[in-house]
Structures are given as C-alpha cells and as structure tokens.
Amino acid sequence: MYKANDNRYDNMKYNFTGASGLKLPAVSLGLWHNFGSVNNVQNMESMLYTAFDNGITHFDLANNYGPAPGSAEENFGRILKKGLGAYRDELVISTKAGYGMWPGPYGDGGSRKYLISSLDQSLKRMGLDYVDIFYHHRWDPDTPLEETMWALDQIVKSGKALYVGISNYNKEQTIEAAKILKELKTPFIINQRSYSILNRQIEVDGLKDYAAKNGIGIITFSPLQQGILTGRYLGGIPEDSRVRTSGVFLNESQITDDMNSKVRALKEIADARGESLTQMALAWIMRDGDITSVLIGASKPAQILDSLGMLNSKPFTEEERKKIDEISK
C-alpha cells in the first residue's frame, strides 16, 4: 500500500487560483500523454507517487486523454483505488470535455447534453463522486455560449464539480464566458492555455494581462513546447521521442535549424544560471506571478524531479529577460 512522503509539502509553492480560495501547486502534472492503454501502469504509478511525494497535488485529465480515449482516466482511477485515493482530500483533480469523444452528434462540442454526459462518464472511469475543476475544453462556435455556461453552472450545483474552468478560450471569449458565469454566481476560476518561451499567444491576445487584473487564474500547458525546450532535439531526433512515436503534436518539420539555434541560445542562458534548460523554461513562465501553475507532462519520474528544480530558480535579471525575448522573436 502506498504511503505518501511525510515531507511532501516542504518545498512546493502554492498559489491562489485567481480570486478564489483554491490554491494550486506551482507545478501540476498533466496526464495528456503517457497514461493511456498503450503505456506501462507501473511507470504511471511511479510518476504519480513521485509527483505527490514532492508536493504536486494537482492532476489534470480530460475525457479523451489516452490513447485510447478515456484510458488515462481509467488508469488514474485504478491508481487512486490502489492507494493514492487515500489522500483524495489533499488532491485537486480536474477533467475536461469539448473535443470528440464518442460517435454521433452528442459526443463533441459544448452542448448541455454532451458536457453533463461526459462528466458522468469521467467520474465513473475514475471512481470519483466529484472533480475539483471541470473545464469546457474548447470554444464551440456551433453552440450558444449561454448553453455551455449554463451546463457548467448546473454541474457545480449538482455537486459533480467544485469549480469550473475553460480551456483554449482567447481573451474575448474569456470575457464573454466570465460575464455569464458571474451573473450565474458560478465559481469560474481558471483558463488553461498553451504558453512557453516560444509560444507567446496569451501575451499577444491580451489574455495574460486581462486574467491577472480580473481575478482569473491561468494554468499553462505545453510549457516546454512539446519537448523542444528540454534540448533533447539538439543532437538529432531520438528514436523514442514523441516525434518518432506519435508525430501528431510535434513533427520533424518543426525541428528546424532556426529552431535549434534558438534552443542553443536559450540553453546558454540556462547554463550560465546553473539550471537545466527545462528548469529555466518553467521558471520563466512563473516569472512575474501572473500564472497560477505550470502544467508539465512526463514519461518517467526523473523528468518530474528535474522539472521541480525550477522551484529553486533565481529571479531573472532584466538582461536575461531581454535576451530571452530577443531569442524567441
């Protein structure tokens, strides 16, 4: 039976999520990759236990994470039942619905039918009575926004989620959603968006500043640009890399000479700071206090431990900030 590390809270930093009372760890673990039916269950257990033993209390899923879709939630549910679930009240568990999950017209989008049915299925797969955060996974132009937000409100009122969030909504879409949820008095606390040194879209569309000024948390995914910002592609493309094994979210055409030049320049800054490139890239995301949590992925426990080194990163100097901005243009 798993027993958690008694000192698990000693080194982690926890941040309030927007204007809510819920705190998230500075580093959260996402189960987007490496927790599906094709992956090793013992390795999944080791990663989850390593994360929690080091203060990562937040685990992020979605209905379609796998492969196969739903299998990440099923595996997570098995590991909860086996031992991690004894600490349920110390965990923040989130899931999402929005992308295609099952055949036919009711397994995709933002309708009330889809969102509520999907969450019921997710709870069953994980063996839970509720999740802490339930997200609408994407903007759906084909469903009235009011319907989607009413569904999120109903989900909270039914006790199936404590808080709600949105994912992949831009600034203007977030403003519209927040207005409706505020009128409904729904505990909307967070937006999940992609963000990294090499992907500044939430700065470009103004979401980052807007969220910080209006009490909305932001949790960021793909902080290492699908592994590019680990530096592992500088010497070529490893056979066991995501490019070789999947190629869906990162493919060989993205590993260009120009990209590698940028990564080498960033690595020089990290080396001078006495940090790994991974640690610097994660610390950069949290540099100004506007981001609630950075969502990492991992294929083995050692990667989680390396990422947690960002908690000891030094503040960035003005010169370092300028260099990083110039490199990433």
pLDDT band per the 50, 70, 90 thresholds, residue 106: very high
Domain total in the chain: 1
The closest of 134, 210, 213, 219 to 174, measured between CA atoms, is 210
User: Does residue 250 lie within any of the structural domains?
Assistant: no
Q: Which residue has the higher pLDDT, 258 or 240?
A: 258
Structure tokens at 328: 């990433």
Rounded-to-integer distance, Cα 72 and Cα 103, Å? 19
Structure tokens at 198: 């090499």
User: Does residue 205 lie within any of the structural domains?
Assistant: yes
- The answer to whether the beta carbons of residues 130 and 162 sit under 8 Å apart is yes
> Which residues lie across from 96 on neighbouring strands?
135
Percent of the chain topping pLDDT 70: 94
Structure tokens at 2: 């798993």
Residue ranges making up the domain that contains 28: 14-233+276-316
pTM (predicted TM-score): 0.94
Rounded-to-integer distance, Cα 174 and Cα 168, Å? 9
User: Does residue 325 lie within any of the structural domains?
Assistant: no
Q: Can you give the pLDDT at residue 255?
A: 73
User: Does residue 173 lie within any of the structural domains?
Assistant: yes
Rounded-to-integer distance, Cα 94 and Cα 137, Å? 11
Which residue blocks in the chain are alpha helix, DSSP H? Answer: 41-53, 71-82, 112-126, 145-157, 171-184, 201-204, 207-213, 242-245, 257-273, 277-285, 301-308, 318-328
The closest of 24, 18, 292, 23 to 181, measured between CA atoms, is 18
Task: Annotate 9-19 with b (16+ C-beta within 10 A) or e (fewer).
Answer: eeeeebbebbe
Cα distance from N-terminal residue to C-terminal residue, the chain: 50
Q: Can you give the pLDDT at residue 182?
A: 98
Secondary structure class of 135 (helix, strand, coil) = strand
Percent of the chain topping pLDDT 90: 90
The closest of 74, 66, 80 to 32, measured between CA atoms, is 66
User: Does residue 76 lie within any of the structural domains?
Assistant: yes
Dihedral of the alpha carbons of 125, 128, 131, 132, in degrees to the nearest 10: -140
User: Does residue 25 lie within any of the structural domains?
Assistant: yes
Query: What amino acid is encoded at 134 in this protein?
Result: F
Q: Can you give the pLDDT at residue 250?
A: 58
Q: Can you give the pLDDT at residue 244?
A: 42
The closest of 90, 160, 153 to 129, measured between CA atoms, is 160
Q: Can you give the pLDDT at residue 257?
A: 84
Pairing of strands 217-221, 293-296: parallel
CB atoms within 10 A of CB 279: 20
Rounded-to-integer distance, Cα 20 and Cα 12, Å? 19
Q: Note the pLDDT tens digit of each residue in 201-254.
A: 999 999 999 999 999 999 999 999 989 999 887 865 555 555 545 555 556 667
Q: Note the pLDDT tens digit of each residue in 53-84.
A: 999 999 999 999 999 999 999 999 999 999 99
User: Does residue 191 lie within any of the structural domains?
Assistant: yes
Mean pLDDT of the chain: 94
CB atoms within 10 A of CB 71: 18
CATH of residue 153 = 3.20.20.100
Sign, Cα dihedral of 158, 101, 139, 94: positive
Q: Note the pLDDT tens digit of each residue in 109-146.
A: 999 999 999 999 999 999 999 999 999 999 999 999 99
Whether the upstream peptide bond of residue 68 has omega within 30° of 0, thus cis, is yes
